Structure 1
Amino acid sequence: MLYGIAAATAALLLAALLAALLRVPALRAGIVDRRLHRRQPLLGGVAVVTVTCLVAGVGQWTAVAPLGEGVDRLLVAGALVAALGLVADVWRLRARVLVAGTAVAAACVVPYDETGVLGGILALGWIVVASLAFKGLDHADGLAGTVGVVTAFGVGACAAAEVMDGLAVLLSVLAAALTGFLMHNWHPARIGLGACGSLFTGFLLSSSLVFTRAGYDLGPSAAVVFCVGAVALADSVLVVLARGLARRPLMRRGPDHLVHRLRRLGLTPPGSVVLLGAASFSSVLVGVLVHTGWTGEGAVLWVAGGALLVVVVLLGIPAQESRPVESTQVGGQLRVRNG
Structure 2
Amino acid sequence: MLYGIVAAATALLFSALLAELLRVPALRLGILDRRRRWALPLSGGTAVVLATVLVAGVGDRAGHAPLGTGVGRLLAAGVWVGVLGLAADVWRLRWWVPLAGTAVAAALVVPYAETGVPAGVLAVGWVVAVTAAFRGLDHADGLAGTVGVVTAFGTAACAAAELMDGIALLLSVLAAALAGFLLHNWHPARSGLGAGGSLFAGFVVAAAAVFVRAGQGTGAGAGVLFALTAVVCADAVLVVLARRLSRWPVTRGRPDHLGHRLRRLGLAPRAVTVLLGVASLGGVLVGVAAHTGRVSGGATVWVAAVAAVVVLALLRLPVPPVFHPRQRSSEASPQVTDRLRVRSG
TM-score normalised to structure 2 length: 0.94
Spell out the pairing of 1:59-208 with structure 2 (5 A cutoff): 59-208=59-208
Identical columns (%): 63
Report Cα offsets for 1:150-209 as digits up to 9, x if no partner: 001100000000001111111110011000000000001001000000000000000100
Query: 8 Å contact 1:130–1:203 — kept in the other structure?
Result: yes
Equivalent pair of 1:78/1:105 in contact (CA under 8 Å): yes
1:249: how far off? 1.2
Which amino acid in the other structure matches residue 10 of structure 2?
A
- Aligned counterpart, 1:310: 310
Q: Which runs of 5+ in 2 are unaligned?
A: 329-336, 341-345
- Name the CA distance, whole Å, in 1 between partners of 2:68 and 2:285: 25
1:268 equivalent in structure 2: 268
Cα separation, 1, equivalents of 2:275 and 2:115: 35
Q: Does 2:203 align with 1:215?
A: no
**In 2: Cα distance, 1:133 partner to 1:327 partner:** 29
| 1:54 equivalent in alignment to 2:54 | yes
2: CA distance, partners of 1:192 / 1:321: 25
Cα distance change on mapping 1:119 and 1:326 into 2, 3 Å: closer
Moved more, 240-249 or 146-155: 240-249
SS of the residue corresponding to residue 255 of structure 1 reads coil
Please provide the CA RMSD for this pair.
1.4
Q: CA offsets, 1:257-309, max 9 Å, x none?
A: 00111011110011011000000000011111110000111101211111011
| Match of residue 15 from structure 1 | 15
- Unaligned runs of at least 5 residues, structure 1: 329-336
Equivalent residues in 2 for 1:28-43 (5 A)?
28-43=28-43
Shifted more, 317-326 versus 226-235: the winner is 317-326
Which whole-Å deviations, capped at 9, do the CAs of 1:220-273 have from their partners, x for residues lacking one? 101101111111111111111111111111111111100111011110011011
Q: Which amino acid aligns with 2:270?
A: P
Read off the aligned partner of 1:40 and give its amino acid letter: L
* 2: CA distance, partners of 1:326 / 1:34: 12
Mapped to 2, the partners of 1:74 and 1:146 lie a distance apart of 22
**Post-superposition shift, 1:324?**
4.2
Find the residue that maps to 1:188 and give its secondary structure. Answer: coil
Q: Determine helix, strand or coil for the equivalent of 1:4.
A: helix
Aligned residue pairs: how many? 331
Normalized against structure 1, the TM-score is what?
0.95
